[in-house]
Amino acid sequence: MKHYLFLLLIPLMFACGESKEEIRLKSQVDSLMSITSEDQVAMNEYLKAFNEIQMNLNEIKEKENIITTQTTGDIELEDTDVEAINNDILAIYELMQENKKKLAYLRNKMDKSNSKNKELRTTIKLLNNSIVQKDIELTDLRSQLVQKNIDITELNLKIAAMDSSLAEMSFENVMKDSLITDQDVKLHTAFYIIDTKKNLKNKGILKSDGGFIGIGSNTKVKMKESEFTEVDIRETMEFSLNETKKVQLITDHPEGSYKFEQSANGKYIKLKVINADDFWKMSKYLVISIKE
pLDDT category at 246 given cuts 50, 70, 90 is very high
**254 CB-near residues (< 8 Å, 6+ apart):** 278, 279, 281, 282
pTM: 0.44
pLDDT number for residue 216: 54
Q: Where are the alpha helices (DSSP H) in 148-246?
A: 153-187, 197-202, 218-223
pLDDT category at 270 given cuts 50, 70, 90 is very high
pLDDT category at 95 given cuts 50, 70, 90 is confident
pLDDT category at 279 given cuts 50, 70, 90 is very high
Number of residues assigned to the chain = 292
pLDDT number for residue 126: 82
Whether the Cβ atoms of residue 77 and residue 143 lie closer than 8 Å to each other: no
pLDDT number for residue 98: 85
The average confidence (pLDDT) of the chain is 76
Instruction: Say if residue 36's pLDDT is above 60.
Output: no
Instruction: Say if residue 19's pLDDT is above 60.
Output: yes
Instruction: Say if residue 4's pLDDT is above 50.
Output: no
Whole-angstrom CA distances from 124 to 17, 56, 76, 116 are: 23, 15, 42, 13
When pLDDT is averaged across residues 95-116 and rounded to a whole number, the result is 76
Lowest-confidence region among 83-92, 151-160, 181-190, 277-286: 181-190
DSSP 197: H
Instruction: Say if residue 111's pLDDT is above 90.
Output: no
Q: Hey, CA dihedral for 192, 196, 202, 206, is it positive or negative?
A: positive
Instruction: Say if residue 261's pLDDT is above 90.
Output: yes
Instruction: Say if residue 15's pLDDT is above 90.
Output: no
More confident residue, 190 or 75: 190
Whether the Cβ atoms of residue 287 and residue 199 lie closer than 8 Å to each other: no
More confident residue, 41 or 192: 192
More confident residue, 174 or 44: 44
Closest CA to 26 of 98, 133, 123, 110: 123
CA–CA separation, 286 and 270 (whole Å): 13
pLDDT number for residue 14: 36
